[in-house]
Amino acid sequence: MRSERTSLQHEADVLGQRITADISSLKDELKGMFDDRKMLVRMERRDLDNHIQELNYRITTRMQSEMRSEVEGLRWVLVRRTAIAIASVVVTAFVALRASKYAAGKRVAEEGKRAEAVRGRGLMFVGEGDGAVAKGLAAGDDVNPELVSLG
């Protein structure tokens, strides 16, 4: 009985050592599988981050190109509006100059007619503007143009 018990105890010890060794190897295998999975997850995360960065880059470049084209379009609109504004200012200035020349010509013509009428009566205006004084001219007097005011 003692020998059987010793042999059974020996078998139990051997089986215990074998179970302990199997558990240890399974534990190592399980740890290796977890480490492999962690590594795989890291790689997948890295790939996903790279893909996200690539998408961000594409979106950024597309938005920049759209913004540039929109800014360029706006620039052309502003250039056209500026050109139209400058052209309208030039035309307005030209029309104003023509109108002032026309009014000055008309005023000179009226003053010339008035001066002729005054000369016909033998008078001359001395002074300028509203303070001009009409003086009589003797026949044959030369009229000094500096003294004649048409105003």
| 4 Rama class: left (phi>0) / alpha (psi -120 to 50) / beta | alpha
Q: Which of 139, 107, 95, 109 is nearest to 121 (CA)?
A: 139
Task: Give 61-102 pLDDT, tens digit per residue.
Answer: 999 999 999 999 999 999 999 999 999 999 999 999 998 888
Q: What is the pLDDT of residue 107?
A: 79
One digit per residue, the tens of pLDDT, for the chain of length 151 reads 888 889 999 999 999 999 999 999 999 999 999 999 999 999 999 999 999 999 999 999 999 999 999 999 999 999 999 999 999 999 999 999 998 888 887 777 777 776 666 555 555 554 444 444 444 444 444 555 555 555 4
